[in-house]
Structure 1
Amino acid sequence: MNDNTLAIDPQYIHLKLVTTQVEMMHVAAVRGICNVEEVGVPAQHEFDDNDNFATYALGYYNDEPISAVRSASSAT
């Protein structure tokens, strides 16, 4: 392990399906920070019409939301 590596204890990591409006706000914040600000994805591509119909999960570390996953099916 080099000096820039942060050791993360897996016992403090958990995933949760999003079920509340507050959790949806956490999803939007994580996606905005990680994808729009850090990666540079345009907001109009990151947030779309599928957001209203998708299922989300949040990843937490020490009860702090650190990741978001969206599962959305597309109509064919």
Structure 2
Amino acid sequence: MSALDAGDEQHASQLFQQAITACPTDASARRQYAELLWRQGDDSGARSQIEQAITHDQTNPELHLRAGEMLLELGNL
């Protein structure tokens, strides 16, 4: 997303939300949105998005790894 590359996190957030609304099963959009939320300090929002990404792409090891990293960083693992 160019808004994210440009550092416009607010606009990037809006674009991710629109993308997820348009295609709720898009695991890639959910993962990228999770990373943005994580960077912004929204731990619960980030975890929710990464968990939903896993629901839609259960065989993607990178999603499982990132979810584990988030839990570890939060001290929940």
- TM-score, normalised relative to structure 1: 0.33
Whichever of the two has the greater Rg, that structure is 1
- TM-score, normalised relative to structure 2: 0.33
